[in-house]
A and B are shown apart, each in its own frame.
Chain A
Amino acid sequence: MDHKKDRREFLQLTGKAGLSTIVGSAAGINLGVFDLAHAQPGKKVSPFRFAMITDSHLYSGEDHKFDRQLEDAVEQVNNMEVKPDFVLYGGDIAQNGTEDQLAKGKKILSKLDTKLVLIPGEHDWYVDMGGAWKGMFGQDTWSFDHKGVHFIGMNSILVPDFWTAKQMSPRERMAAMEMLEGPIGGLWGVGEKQLEWLKKDVAKLSPDTPIVTFTHSPLWDYYPRWNFQTVDGPQIREILSKFENFTSIHGHVHQTLYNKVGNMTSIGAMSTSWPWPYPPVKLAYPGSQMNRADPGNEVDGMGTLSVSVKAGGDKLAEYQPFAESLTPFLKKGLKA
């Protein structure tokens, strides 16, 4: 399998490469293009790096290929040349939202040797409305400051009650939410409560504080039919409009994606389970489309994401694909 070869080469490379050198494009791994050692420390922000893993969609049962793909992502992040200060998991740990699937994800993710923060995806939530997820991973809304950057995590996959009137069982409700196409639950968002929380959370921050938000879905209207959207994205962007440097990072789309809306830079992460075709939407930045996946390579079109935060708050997001699936444009990383 190609993938094994990729990984072996990748490990070799990381073993040889010195600190903050270019690991480069060999084996399709795209790490360390940014030279941290030469970054000038800024007034408020000191340089660091964080990583993102998302959308593992674990099934029940033993030895599913998606288990191994998540394990590979964990290993990839653990082997990063410049260690991330923390790892963000972007939602959809489970495929069917069951406790055993979430627990399996927790077990695999516990092998990360850095701090882990998580937000939920729709596949994690709708069996018991987040009960098991919260029990294992804590709050679904949070914020923290790290080296001068303010990080915010929110639950963006909440829909109004569509199940009571239809007398759906918890599993039926989950199955309805598992459907990507023409979602039965309708369009989702963060809801009033989180909007209020967000207003308070950022009220005292000065406009030059760099902001990074994590939500499962993009905060712009990409392709609502597949819930590639967040209904209250516009309100979130309005609340955060005073900030000079605002980056939104999301999962759910299972593909590389980049956009700018107002002061927001938006970056979508690859999944560790499967890639999705691009929906029929004209992208403002078409260069951010990865190559069409090769169905013969089980891990083509998948991978993780890493973001280097430079002095001053600028960010460089780099995809770390499992197999060679990036265009030359994407290999340079995306400035956020």
Chain B
Amino acid sequence: MKATFKRTLAIAIPAAITAALASGAAQARDPFDKEALDKQNAQLLELVELGYNLWHGSNPEMSSNGLACGNCHPDAGASNPQTFPKYIQNMNRVVQWGEMVNWCVQNPQAGKALALESKDMTAMYAYAMNLHRGLPIQPGLAAQQTKPIPVKYGKGFPSKPSGIGFDTK
């Protein structure tokens, strides 16, 4: 990324400002070039993949009974992060997505909650968000919150299934 920082000298010449705004040139720096964007996206995808693995049981701390998110939320169904913050009946208050995740970690999975700012939580969020971005936000049936994913059978993300269902005992 080029660290250019164009100061817009918005003084004295109102006409120039107007022109600059109209042409979109009033930004702080150049747009990211392709190389920079690719790097950023690669980082995000890496996290999405980590999220996929966690979703399927790669962190044994998150479960003491063998269950992983993927058991009950295939393709991150019925867990749309875009519907949060929202009121959750069990907790009788409005919670953010990560709190609901931790609720499922601690209850159905009888596991240890993740820190809300942890890399693992961000990764899970990245994965779930990746499957839901752009879907209409509605609190209705889970069906409306599961996005069909255009991958061929047997592909998915490149990583191997990591531990879903493997007994840790």
Contacts and interface: CB of A to CB of B under 8 A. Distances in A.
A226 B78 contact: no
Contacts of A186: 153-154
B107 A96 contact: no
Interface in A157-216: 162, 171, 175-176, 178-187
A289 interface: yes
B74 A276 contact: yes
A91 to B, nearest CB: 15
Nearest to A98: B167
Contact of A298 (B103, B108, B145, B152): B108
Nearest to A279: B146
Contacts of A123: 165
A182 B155 contact: yes
Given A186-B153, A225-B149, A295-B107, A95 B143 contact: no
B138 to A, nearest CB: 12
Interface residues of A, number: 41
Interface in A267-281: 274-281
Interface stretch (A60-68, A76-84, A109-117, A313-321): A60-68
A187 B152 CA distance: 11
B72 A279 contact: no
Contacts of A278: 141-143, 146
B157 to A, nearest CB: 9
B143 A279 contact: yes
Contacts, number: 110
Contacts of B141: 278, 289, 292
Majority-rule SS of A interface residues: loop
B118 interface: no
Contacts of A61: 167, 169
A178 B161 contact: yes
B164 interface: yes
Contacts of A179: 56, 70, 161, 164
Contact of B153 (A60, A187, A276, A295): A187
A289 B164 CA distance: 27
Contact of B164 (A162, A175, A182, A185): A175
B143 A280 contact: yes
Contacts of B143: 277-281, 289
Contacts of A34: none
A296 interface: yes
Q: For B71, B103, B145, which residue has the most chain A Cβ atoms within 10 angstroms?
A: B71
A274 B78 CA distance: 13
A82 B84 CA distance: 46
B24 interface: no
Contacts of A225: 75, 148-149, 153
B129 to A, nearest CB: 17
Given A280-B147, A295-B90, 19 more contacts: A175-B161, A175-B163, A181-B70, A181-B74, A181-B75, A182-B155, A183-B153, A184-B153, A184-B154, A224-B153, A225-B149, A226-B75, A276-B77, A277-B73, A277-B146, A278-B141, A278-B146, A281-B143, A292-B142
21 contacts: A59-B65, A95-B66, A96-B166, A96-B167, A171-B166, A178-B165, A179-B161, A181-B70, A182-B152, A186-B153, A225-B149, A226-B75, A276-B77, A277-B73, A277-B78, A279-B77, A279-B143, A280-B146, A281-B143, A295-B107, A296-B90
Nearest 10 pairs of A and B residues by beta carbon: A277-B142, A296-B90, A278-B143, A277-B78, A277-B77, A182-B156, A178-B165, A61-B169, A180-B74, A59-B66
